[in-house]
């Protein structure tokens, strides 16, 4: 669970920028392509010559920090690292290895066809479980995702994909599927909803129940030039045996030119 202190700090940092025109990745005036909904990847890309700092505060005082680079308009790389109990008391549980990611977009969106991204992401979410040798929410691993945008009271974006994780210590090595939607609400705000089938987390030895999959929801707010603040509710379906009810998380994204 997110403690009040980091949430207060995020809001304090954001408040001087709240009156600035929103030019982040949320809202109909956003200038940055969203690369994720909550955790599910989209076909969004960083433009070539830009970089992004992603920060996420999550359950049990957890902190995840990542840096991504748009090498070209159609190709990007990223690295991330995190730990639980960074905020609060008790011993910190650091991730065993940094997370690595890569994205390639072989097809841009057209009026008839969706954009397609092929990628890899080894960064799991909501904290690493040493005894289980996995993250609470498994990393995407290899993935392919399609995204299509429609003009509808701003923009409506639909996303769907398939992934194969390499977190298989629980014996569940099934291919997984995910889908989601983003709806802009005015020039600076977007609402997001994603569903992860959890097919790779439903074995008898896995952490997921296998009955409902993972449903996450969030709101994104472009608070300044290249800056987007996000608030999420994770596992609304209570699929995880680790997350005690829906988990509240906060994300902060900063995109700038190199």
Give me the CATH number covering residue 152: 2.40.160
**Within a domain: residue 108?**
yes
Q: Which domain holds residue 44?
A: 4-248
The answer as to whether 159 is a domain residue is yes
What is the average per-residue pLDDT within 6-32? 62
**What value does the mean pLDDT take over residues 146-165?**
97
**pLDDT by residue (tens digit) across 236-247?**
998 888 887 789
Within-domain flag for 254: no
Count of structural domains within the chain: 1
Output the pLDDT for position 14: 44
CB atoms within 10 A of CB 66: 21
Q: Is residue 241 part of a domain?
A: yes
> Helix, strand, or coil here: 181?
strand
Considering the domain boundaries, does residue 253 fall inside one? no
- CB count within 10 Å of CB 54 equals 21
Q: CB of 30 within 8 A of CB of 227? A: no
pLDDT value of position 215: 95
Residue 87: partners with Cβ closer than 8 Å, 6 or more residues away: 3, 5, 6, 57, 61, 62, 63
Q: Above 90 in pLDDT, residue 70?
A: yes
Read off the pLDDT of each residue in 235-258 and give the average, rounded to a whole number.
90
Domain annotation covers residue 258: no
Termini Cα distance of the chain: 34
Residue 102 lies in a domain: yes
Q: What pLDDT score was predicted for residue 12?
A: 42
In a domain, 256, yes or no: no
What pLDDT does 118 receive?
A: 98
What pLDDT, on the 0 to 100 scale, is given for residue 221? 96
Confidence band (pLDDT; 50, 70, 90) for 130? confident
pLDDT score at 4: 44
pLDDT at 66 over 80: yes
pLDDT of residue 109: 97
In percent, how much of the chain has pLDDT > 70?
90
pLDDT at residue 59 is higher than 50: yes
CA distance 76 to 117: 11
Q: Which residues have a Cβ under 8 Å from the Cβ of 133 and sit 6 or more positions away?
A: 167, 169
């Amino acid at each position: 669970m997110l403690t009040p202190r980091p949430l207060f700090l995020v809001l304090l940092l954001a408040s001087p920028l709240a009156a600035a025109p929103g030019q982040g990745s949320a809202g109909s005036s956003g200038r940055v392509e969203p690369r994720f909904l909550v955790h599910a990847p989209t076909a969004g890309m960083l433009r070539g010559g830009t970089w992004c700092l992603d920060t996420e505060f999550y359950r049990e005082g957890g902190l995840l920090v990542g840096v991504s680079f748009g090498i070209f308009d159609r190709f990007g790389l990223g690295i991330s690292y995190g730990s639980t109990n960074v905020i609060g008391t008790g011993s910190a549980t650091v991730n065993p290895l940094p997370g690595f990611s890569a994205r390639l977009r072989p097809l841009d969106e057209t009026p008839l066809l969706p954009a397609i991204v092929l990628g890899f992401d080894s960064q799991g979410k909501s904290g690493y479980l040493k005894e289980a040798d996995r993250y609470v929410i498994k990393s995407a691993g290899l993935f392919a995702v399609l995204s299509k945008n429609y003009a509808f009271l701003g923009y409506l974006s639909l996303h769907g994909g398939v992934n194969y994780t390499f977190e298989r210590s629980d014996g569940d090595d099934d291919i997984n599927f995910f889908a989601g939607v983003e709806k802009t609400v005015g020039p600076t705000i977007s609402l997001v909803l994603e569903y992860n089938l959890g097919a790779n987390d439903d074995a008898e030895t896995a952490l997921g129940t296998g009955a409902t999959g993972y449903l996450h929801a969030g709101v994104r707010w472009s608070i300044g030039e290249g800056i987007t603040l996000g608030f999420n509710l994770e596992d609304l379906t209570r699929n995880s045996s680790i997350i005690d009810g829906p988990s509240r998380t906060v994300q902060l994204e900063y995109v700038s030119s190199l």
